[in-house]
Amino acid sequence: MARKANYEEKISALEAKIEKKQSEIKVLKAKAADLKAQKAKHDYQELTEYMQANELTAAEVLACIKD
């Protein structure tokens, strides 16, 4: 005899899994954004230290980049 499928249970289980994964994605996106901000801060600090060490202004650096 064929077993009757309980579609509502299966749908609910899948929806719960989707919600869990969406929550995990949200957390991962927040971590990625935080890491990007940390990297940008580090890169900026490294650039300003280089500029100070070589007595460069922002205009001089931009002129070198644009050429």
Domain segments of the chain: what residues? 7-66
What does 3-62 look like in DSSP terms, one character per residue?
A: PPP-HHHHHHHHHHHHHHHHHHHHHHHHHHHHHHHHHHHHHHHHHHHHHHHTT--HHHHH
Q: Which pLDDT belongs to residue 36?
A: 98
Q: Give, for all 67 residues of the chain, the pLDDT tens digit.
A: 456 678 989 999 999 999 999 999 999 999 999 999 999 999 999 999 999 999 999 999 999 888 7
